[in-house]
Amino acid sequence: MEITLEDVKNNEEVEQLIITAQKQLDVLGYTEHSHRHLNIVSQRAGEILRELGYGEDRIKLAEIAGYLHDLGNAINRKDHAHTGAILADRILKDMGMNVKDRCDIMMAIGNHDENSGTAVSDISAAIILADKSDAHRSRVSKTNKSLFDKHDRVNYAVTDAKLRIDQEERKIILDLTIDTKMCPVLDYFEIFMDRTMMSKHAAKYLGLWFEVVINDTNLL
């Protein structure tokens, strides 16, 4: 049975897990990991594979994996990639997805966290690049800036974030605009260095070089 991204978005269990995950992350003080983030990761992952010439079947699986990749936060932030992969597999099985496609999605979700994963497939590489590129002030839920921690300040300082592929140069570029009055550029790398290195390896898996441009200056 063919399962579409819209089928997944309309699934009541998926929706409740997303709501529960964000509720828990709000209590723990994390940034937004709900519909906004999930839609961005889903869209970017699909766009990466589409631009690189992958087939629609791989693009569809990347989009679904991107939308489901943070479900594990409904259980616990720790090991959320692994628990999320298992949750996604069970839900997609109940929806009628074949085991081969479920395994591709499960493997991508299970490897998206920088503390335990790495790019092991085209889909997982696309998910990593899409996920780790989503830094933006709209992810900060706190309204009182005096309560911002370093993660809040760095995300809030990012006013624009684009991920683009240069086919001729065979590179993928994370192009950020950062308000340096909110935080210095160095703080971005202090917070996101592990994610940046993970993105570099993911790009390499896809045959690309990874670059970071901040305020029109190439820094990696």
The CATH number of whichever domain residue 44 belongs to comes to 1.10.3210.10
Residue owning tokens 């309309």: 10
Total domain count, the chain = 1
CA angle 33, 125, 198 (to 5 degrees): 75
Query: Rounded distance, CA 193 to CA 189, Å?
Result: 5
| Residue 145 structural domain | 5-218
- 219: DSSP letter: -
pLDDT of residue 182: 86
What are the 10-residue block averages of pLDDT along the chain, 220 residues in total?
Answer: 95 98 93 94 98 97 98 97 98 97 98 95 98 90 80 89 94 94 86 91 98 88
Which of 157, 138, 158 lies closest to 32 in space, CA to CA?
Answer: 138
Residue owning tokens 């995300």: 155
